[in-house]
């Protein structure tokens, strides 16, 4: 081999050596990076014994009892007797001889709770202590103390109790449920089936669950065993912080099948603070009725995505009305926060300080508009829903037209009486619905009044037909109807059949 060849081989070997060193360096760096990320992940603990020993003294059993009063004989329905039958008096005599049918009796129940302050403040579920005449709190050391109710909130199923103790009580602290992730380990400690001090472990199975339990549903779902008697008990993270209050389970048998729900601490903490201070909740009020923005509604309103809350009604004289919000607006931002889903808005409003001036962003006629709304206090009263019209028979009216599978008519005095339509409701009456139409799929029915269509007010059947024709030419797949059904207004997006 000549000198040039030796020199060339030497340079090749030197290059190869440096290449190998470089590859090794990259591999080592990658390994370090991966090991660092692995270190940041929460490894499954070897045992929960230390946590159980530290946390259990702050978890309590709650025993309640109430008296079911004797039933008055006059309130008991009698069997069917012929008029003047002597059996009627015989039945009443038998009723009285047997103590009125039902003697006063005591009913007891068991639940769980946890101490959050050493001076005896305890959190539990409202349904654990609701209607109780007597509440007793049992501690793991055998101490038993009577409790009084400081306040309760049926809408979130949270209650706050107070006991008097001659010594500071073991207590736990709330953590931030918003930091919890699906897959994180959690612990439930409580009183299942009356077996006090029972611990179960699992993971967070899902977040932000809506189980139709109330207006502010935002549950943590867990597979940690939760059974009857666990209600009101704490759901802990592995740092020993309370991130939820165990409230409900899904189970055909009444026992745990691995689907339990806890109210997140982010919702519990402000409620507890208000119940401690005022004995009641003081929530913000916007004064709107809202609907979910479905894909069809979004398309009919030319929205790029299904977000926000569609305003189906504005309360006269309420905060939204004073600020200029209108029926048909889509609220996409509230106090600087995005309204990703309709169900997010009630909670945002409820948590807002009463009297605060809040910026609200809405989409109206395809444009973003900013409003300033001063939040007022929500009066805790129930709203009775309007009953649906069950008359499905078609009724002839003047100037009838067909569109969207609907037979449309002017509202005549006769039709107003037939369908029980209030005098102050104006629009176009639906007198018949094609059962095979998209309108029937959306449960539009005879007696519904179309107040607006495509965000335009309508008064005659021709108004509806003309708007549908125009929207069809614009190549939209659906159109938004504003319907009034016996005083209850709602928006419905109906698919346009172009065949």
Q: Architecture of domain 58-79+86-163 in CATH?
A: Beta Barrel (2.40)
Of 63, 112, 153, 157, which one is the catalytic site residue? 157
What is the Cα–Cα distance from 431 to 418, expressed in whole angstroms?
Answer: 11
CATH T-level assignment (fold) for domain 284-377: Pdz3 Domain (2.30.42)
Report for 168-182, 422-436, 438-452, 457-471: range of highest mean pLDDT: 168-182
What's the pLDDT tens digit per position in 469-491? 887 877 778 888 888 888 788 88
The single residue listed with the structure tokens 């089936």 is 193
Q: Which of 192, 179, 255, 249 is nearest to 221 (CA)?
A: 249
CATH of range 177-278; options 3.40.462.20, 3.40.50.970, 2.40.10.10, 3.40.50.300: 2.40.10.10
- Chain-centroid distance of CA 399 in Å reads 45
Report the pLDDT value the prediction gives residue 388, as an integer from 0 to 100: 32
What is the Cα–Cα distance from 290 to 348, expressed in whole angstroms?
Answer: 13
Of 22 and 285, the one with more pLDDT = 285
Burial class of residue 340, CB neighbours in 10 A (0-12, 13-18, 19+): middle
> Which backbone phi and psi does 413 adopt, to 5 degrees?
-55, -40
* Coil vs helix vs strand at 33: helix
From 32-36, 192-196, 266-270, the region with the lowest mean pLDDT: 32-36
Q: Which of 282, 249, 246 is nearest to 264 (CA)?
A: 246
Question: Does residue 141 carry a catalytic annotation?
Answer: no
What is the Cα–Cα distance from 147 to 133, expressed in whole angstroms?
Answer: 11
Question: Does residue 251 carry a catalytic annotation?
Answer: no
Of 56, 127, 462, 488, which one is the catalytic site residue? 127
Phi-psi region of 125 (alpha: psi -120 to 50; beta: other; left: phi over 0): beta
Report the pLDDT value the prediction gives residue 472, as an integer from 0 to 100: 80
Report the pLDDT value the prediction gives residue 89, as an integer from 0 to 100: 64
- Chain-centroid distance of CA 484 in Å reads 25
What is the Cα–Cα distance from 56 to 71, expressed in whole angstroms?
Answer: 42
C-alpha distances in angstroms, 108 versus 35, 130, 186, 194?
54, 12, 30, 12
Whether residue 284 contacts residue 350, with contact meaning beta carbons closer than 8 Å, is answered with yes
What tokens were used for 95? 């009723």
What is the Cα–Cα distance from 414 to 182, expressed in whole angstroms?
Answer: 59
Question: Does residue 198 carry a catalytic annotation?
Answer: no
> Which backbone phi and psi does 188 adopt, to 5 degrees?
-115, 125
* Residues comprising the chain, all counted: 499
Where in the chain are the domains? 58-79+86-163, 177-278, 284-377, 401-495
What tokens were used for 398? 């003047």
What's the pLDDT tens digit per position in 148-203? 999 999 999 999 999 999 999 999 999 999 999 999 999 999 988 888 789 999 99
Domains 177-278 and 401-495 equal at CATH topology level: no
What tokens were used for 395? 């009724």
Q: Which of 112, 120, 116, 130 is nearest to 162 (CA)?
A: 120
Residues 6+ away with beta carbon under 8 Å from 403: 461, 464, 465, 468
Of 200, 231, 266, 403, which one is the catalytic site residue? 231
This prediction's pTM: 0.66
> What is the percent of the chain with per-residue pLDDT over 70, rounded to a whole number?
78
CATH 3.20.20.60 for domain 401-495, yes or no, is no
Of 346 and 43, the one with more pLDDT = 346
Of 16 and 200, the one with more pLDDT = 200
């Amino acid at each position: 081999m000549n000198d040039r060849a030796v020199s060339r081989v030497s340079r090749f070997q030197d290059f190869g050596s440096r290449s190998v060193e470089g590859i090794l360096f990259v591999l080592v760096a990658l390994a370090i990076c991966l090991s660092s990320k692995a270190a940041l992940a929460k490894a499954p603990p070897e045992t929960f014994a230390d946590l159980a020993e530290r946390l259990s003294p702050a978890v309590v059993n709650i025993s309640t009892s109430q008296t079911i009063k004797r039933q008055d004989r006059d309130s008991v329905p009698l069997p069917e007797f012929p008029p003047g039958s002597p059996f009627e008096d015989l039945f009443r005599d038998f009723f009285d001889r047997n103590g009125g049918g039902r003697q006063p009796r005591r009913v007891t129940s068991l639940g769980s709770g946890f101490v959050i302050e050493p001076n005896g403040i305890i959190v539990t579920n409202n349904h654990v202590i609701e209607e109780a005449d007597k509440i007793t709190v049992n501690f793991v050391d055998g101490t038993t103390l009577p409790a009084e109710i400081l306040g309760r909130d049926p809408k979130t199923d949270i209650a706050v109790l107070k006991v008097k103790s001659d010594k500071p009580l073991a207590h736990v602290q709330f953590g931030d449920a918003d930091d919890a992730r699906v897959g994180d380990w959690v612990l439930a400690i409580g009183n299942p089936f009356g077996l006090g001090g029972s611990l179960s472990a699992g993971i967070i199975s899902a977040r932000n669950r809506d189980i139709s339990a109330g207006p502010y549903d935002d549950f943590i779902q867990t597979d940690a065993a939760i059974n009857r008697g666990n209600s009101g008990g704490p759901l802990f993270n592995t740092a020993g912080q309370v991130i939820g209050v165990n409230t409900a389970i899904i189970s055909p048998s009444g026992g745990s099948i691995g689907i339990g729900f806890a109210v997140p601490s982010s919702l519990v903490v402000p409620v507890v603070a208000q119940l401690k201070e005022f004995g009641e909740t003081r929530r913000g009020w916007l004064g709107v009725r809202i609907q979910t923005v479905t894909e069809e509604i979004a398309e009919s309103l030319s929205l790029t995505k299904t977000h926000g809350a569609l305003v189906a009604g504005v309360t006269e004289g309420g905060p939204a009305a004073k600020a200029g919000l209108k029926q048909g607006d889509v609220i996409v931002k509230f106090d600087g926060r995005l309204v990703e889903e309709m169900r997010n808005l009630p909670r945002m409003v409820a948590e807002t300080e009463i009297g605060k001036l809040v910026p609200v962003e809405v989409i109206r006629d395809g444009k973003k508009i900013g409003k300033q709304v001063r939040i007022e206090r929500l009066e805790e009263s129930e709203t009775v829903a309007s009953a649906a019209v069950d008359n499905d028979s078609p009724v002839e009216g003047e100037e009838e037209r067909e569109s969207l599978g609907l037979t449309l008519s002017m509202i005549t005095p006769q039709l107003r009486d037939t369908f029980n339509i209030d005098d102050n409701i104006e629009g176009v009456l639906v007198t018949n619905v094609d059962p095979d139409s998209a309108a029937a799929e959306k449960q539009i029915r005879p007696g519904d009044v179309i107040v607006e269509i495509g965000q335009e007010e309508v008064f005659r059947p021709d108004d509806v037909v003309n708007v549908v024709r125009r929207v069809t030419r614009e190549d939209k797949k659906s159109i938004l109807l504003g319907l009034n059904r016996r005083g209850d207004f709602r928006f419905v997006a109906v698919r346009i059949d172009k065949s």
